[in-house]
């Protein structure tokens, strides 16, 4: 499923804006055919955005169940005779879509795109109504998992991930047209040999049989290589590689011709290589050290809604602090974010929404009952997890910024059941993309020597909170234990990326002697942790948790969210941000 674009043969129409919106607490909308008429009793709701915080309404903030969106648009009259596609960047966590009164698509999974060919349901030049039922409920069979509890106050969604369950149409919605004969997919692989680059391509065509031709054009529009045939490989002399910090990209112009139809699709290509060699992580054959953060799509009022202003500002803060990379914790980010990363040389660890697969964490009375079982997280969940891996790789396989697939965050990983659950999922990821390393973020409950899943991975990715969750306030002890564990992981002979470390910190809270929650303690803990990293040659990356404070479910462990950010939720720097800037903008880390 290629992302729609404008090209000489394609057009787009954005459906973003104000949609009609209403909740369906009684679950009657489908039976009453709400899609067949204007939504009664609707209010305005922006798209894209989370619906939770737009309206000052406690019931909407914590709403559980289906909500309905509706808009009416006019199909451009110039699209007569074309194939018309309706595409959603995401709908959290499941959606059913109607065009007019015809159901056209359903999708499960809240962070990846889906589309429908709606050619038979629209008429060029005429209005059309689009209605979407979005369901924010999680179950034991979804990724991420959860369950709905019926309480005296009504249904409550219980989930095991430590970020708020924002919901809605979070990403752009577009109507697009293509010729009936169209480029339906392309897979690109790249290589480097000195000053020569290679671009392998494999083009799929829908709607008929076509002759395929390709041209590779540089950033100035000059053709540097060309070829014919659906699969092929191009040679690029005097190649300009895609590099961290320099997002140079070529345009692979694909032309499919059959009969009297022709389609043109332009695929961005960054020519680079990724390799794990011993304890080194190599990009273009050169050692790379990850500096950056685990991040969340999380902003005031917007929730997880995609917004260009907020996005560019976040990237500028990353640049200011000296970061070169980030992890899409704990779900795939919007395609707009990934486009920006590709274009500007950011290095990305791309993660599935598989968070909360560990009942020993944040699971209340379920802790200790075992995570992987047919009653809870079993084969059906595993199939959903596999689908998420395949859909993520299908979406982002051609992105030069993506250098690692992370298939889960902090799952149970020290049991035989966990090993059985994850072994086929690692195989799925490698079959879908044999060109990138595959890993997952390991939790402190499964330390070096005890984890049964990290041996399946190409690299070690660990989340460690020495000085916070372990030995809080005892930094000398925390340092010794961190040194010991890093040394043990290093014996595996793989590169180590510390994908989370840090401490909750209230901005503006100070003390003469560092104490928990103060800015001084956060600085001291992070300094201690960096010293441990610098003492272990196998450590090739540090991602502070988190880039910015973010919203979570309410609870006595959280005061208005998670406060581990280097920046506040409204993007004001804490003292640790200045510490990171001094470290990350100084001499390059070897």
Annotated catalytic residues are: 410, 500
- Give ∠ CA 120-66-36 in degrees, rounded to 5: 35
Q: How far apart are CA 484 and CA 480, in angstroms?
A: 6
Measured distance CA(204)–CA(188) in Å, rounded:
12
* Alpha-carbon span 403 to 397, nearest angstrom: 10
Give the contacts of 43 (CB within 8 A, at least 6 positions apart): 20, 21, 22, 55
Q: How far apart are CA 481 and CA 485, in angstroms?
A: 6
* Max Cα-Cα span within the chain: 78
As a whole number of angstroms, the distance between CA 530 and CA 427 comes to 34
Question: What is the distance in angstroms between the CA of the first residue and the CA of the last residue of the chain?
Answer: 40
Query: What residues contact residue 570 under an 8 Å CB cut-off, 6+ apart?
Result: 300
Task: Supply 358's token pair.
Answer: 């560990």
Bridge partners of residue 10, in order along the sequence? 7
What is d(CA 464, CA 370) in angstroms, rounded to the nearest whole number? 22
Residue 407's CB is within 10 A of a number of other CB atoms, namely: 27
Buried b (16+ CB within 10 A) or exposed e, 223-239: ebbebeebebebebeeb
DSSP string, 270-294: ----EEEETTEEEETTEE--EEEEE
Calculate the CA 290 to chain-centre distance.
Answer: 18
Find, among 182, 58, 69, the residue nearest to 130 by Cα. Answer: 69
Q: CA–CA separation, 441 vs 541, rounded Å?
A: 13
| Beta strand segments in 57-181, E | 66-74, 83-88, 94-99, 102-108, 114-117, 127-135, 146-151, 154-159, 173-178
* DSSP codes of every residue in 150-174: EETTEEEEEE-SSS----B--S-EE
Transcribe 196-228 into DSSP letters.
EEEEEEEEEEESS--EEEEEEE-TTS-EEEEEE
Residue 190: which H helix or E strand, with range?
Answer: strand 182-193
In DSSP notation, 226-256 reads EEESSEEEEEETT----BTTB---EEEEEEE
Is residue 26 within 8 A of residue 109, CB to CB? The reply is: no
Place of tokens 């829908």: 206
- Quick one: tokens of 180? 């009936």
- H-helix segments, 397-518: 416-432, 475-490
CA 299 to chain centre: 16
């Amino acid at each position: 499923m290629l992302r729609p674009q404008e090209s000489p043969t394609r057009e787009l129409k954005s459906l973003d804006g104000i949609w009609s919106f209403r909740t369906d607490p009684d679950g009657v909308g489908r039976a009453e055919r709400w899609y067949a008429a204007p939504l009664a009793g609707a209010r305005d709701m922006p798209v894209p955005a989370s619906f939770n915080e737009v309206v000052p309404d406690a019931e909407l903030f914590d709403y559980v169940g289906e909500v309905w969106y509706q808009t009416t648009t006019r199909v451009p009259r110039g699209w007569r005779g074309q194939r018309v596609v309706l595409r959603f960047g995401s709908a959290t966590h499941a959606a059913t879509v109607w065009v007019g009164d015809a159901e056209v698509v359903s999708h499960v999974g809240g962070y990846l795109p889906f589309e429908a060919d709606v050619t038979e349901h629209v008429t060029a030049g005429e209005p059309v109504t689009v209605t979407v039922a979005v369901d924010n409920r999680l179950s034991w069979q979804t990724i991420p998992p959860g369950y709905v509890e019926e309480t005296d106050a009504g249904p409550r969604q219980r989930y095991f991930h430590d970020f708020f369950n924002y919901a809605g149409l979070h990403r752009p919605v577009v109507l697009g047209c293509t010729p009936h004969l169209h480029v339906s997919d392309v897979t690109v692989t790249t290589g480097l040999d000195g000053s020569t680059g290679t671009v392998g391509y494999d083009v799929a065509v829908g709607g008929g049989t076509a002759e395929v031709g390709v041209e590779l054009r540089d950033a100035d529009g000059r053709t540097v290589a060309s070829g014919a045939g659906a699969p092929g490989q191009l040679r690029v002399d005097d190649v300009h590689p895609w590099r961290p910090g320099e997002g140079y990209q070529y345009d692979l112009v694909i032309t499919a011709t059959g009969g009297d139809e022709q389609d043109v699709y332009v695929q961005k290509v960054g020519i680079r290589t990724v390799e794990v060699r011993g304890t080194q992580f190599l990009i273009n054959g050169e050692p790379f050290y990850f500096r950056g953060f685990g991040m969340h799509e999380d902003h005031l009022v917007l929730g997880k809604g995609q917004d260009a202003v907020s996005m560019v500002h976040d990237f500028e803060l990353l640049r200011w602090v000296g970061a070169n990379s980030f992890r899409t914790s704990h779900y795939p980010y919007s395609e707009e974010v990934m486009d920006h990363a590709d274009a500007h040389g950011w290095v990305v660890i791309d993660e599935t929404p598989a968070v909360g697969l560990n009942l020993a964490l944040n699971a209340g009375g379920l802790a200790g009952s075992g995570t992987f079982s047919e009653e809870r997280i079993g084969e059906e969940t595993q199939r959903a997890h596999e689908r998420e891996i395949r859909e993520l790789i299908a979406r982002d396989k051609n992105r030069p910024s993506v250098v690692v697939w992370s298939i889960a965050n902090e799952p149970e990983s020290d049991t035989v059941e966990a090993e059985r659950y994850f072994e086929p999922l690692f195989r799925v990821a490698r079959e879908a993309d044999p060109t990138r390393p595959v890993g997952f973020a390991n939790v402190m409950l499964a330390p070096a020597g005890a984890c049964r899943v990290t041996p399946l991975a190409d690299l070690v990715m660990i989340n460690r909170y020495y000085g916070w969750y372990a030995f809080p306030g005892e930094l000398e002890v925390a340092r010794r234990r961190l040194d010991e564990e890093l040394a043990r992981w290093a014996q595996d002979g793989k590169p180590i990326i510390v994908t989370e470390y840090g401490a909750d910190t209230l901005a503006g809270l100070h003390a003469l002697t560092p104490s928990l929650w103060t800015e001084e303690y956060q600085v001291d803990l992070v300094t201690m942790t960096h010293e441990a990293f610098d003492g272990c040659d196998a450590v090739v990356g540090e991602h502070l948790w988190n880039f910015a404070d973010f919203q979570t479910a309410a609870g006595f462990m959280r005061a208005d969210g998670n406060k581990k950010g280097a920046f506040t939720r409204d993007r004001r720097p804490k003292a640790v941000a200045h510490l990171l800037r001094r470290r990350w903008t100084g001499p390059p880390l070897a």
